[in-house]
Structure 1
Amino acid sequence: MKLDQFLKYQGLAESGGEAKQRIQRGDVRVNGSIELRRGRQLADGDSVEIDGHCLRVPPGV
């Protein structure tokens, strides 16, 4: 699953446009590093941090 899709899937962005803006502003970290690519492909077990929430990508997503 791509990063922007994951944010929508988890309810952390209401739309693709909002997800894109949050990512481009540097609000999102993947595995501890700021990620600016909304199309970043996430792998099972990756951690995604935004707004003080830290979520793990579950297997098969």
Structure 2
Amino acid sequence: MSHTEDVEVGAAGIRLGQLLKYVNAVETGGEAKDLLAAGDVQVNGAVEQRRGAQLAAGDVVTVPGATYRLT
């Protein structure tokens, strides 16, 4: 079952790969790359495969088992 969690990222935002590590969805950049390559990450409902994609407050990131709402 998926849960939704608010994550505060501040005005500067955060890159997708950094967010995945910050919320413990992955432990390493390599794991983030694999998760993204598999198409298992969505940003605002669309599959996102770029580890460097810039995220900002208001974005919603979904990984298997969890959803993160950026604030």
Tell me the TM-score normalized by structure 1.
0.89
Tell me the TM-score normalized by structure 2.
0.77
Provide the alpha-carbon RMSD of the alignment: 0.8
Distance in 2 separating the partners of 1:52 and 1:33: 16
- The equivalent of 1:55 in structure 2 is 68
Which 5+ residue runs of structure 1 have no aligned equivalent?
Answer: none
1:52 CA drift (Å): 2.8
The answer to whether 1:38 aligns with 2:51 is yes
Distance in 2 separating the partners of 1:32 and 1:3: 14
Question: Quick check: which has more Rg, 1 or 2?
Answer: 2
Q: Could you tell me the percent identity over the aligned residues? A: 50
- The equivalent of 1:26 in structure 2 is 39
One-letter identity of the residue aligned with 2:21: K
For residues 26-57 of structure 1, give each alpha carbon's deviation from its aligned partner in whole angstroms, at most 9, with x where no partner exists: 00000000001111000111000001311111
How many residues align? The count is 58
After TM superposition, the runs of 4+ consecutive aligned structure 1 residues lying more than 4 A away are none
Which 5+ residue runs of structure 2 have no aligned equivalent?
Answer: 1-13
Distance in 1 separating the partners of 2:49 and 2:35: 9
Q: Relative contact order: is structure 1 or structure 2 higher (C-alpha 8 Å, sep ≥ 6)?
A: 2
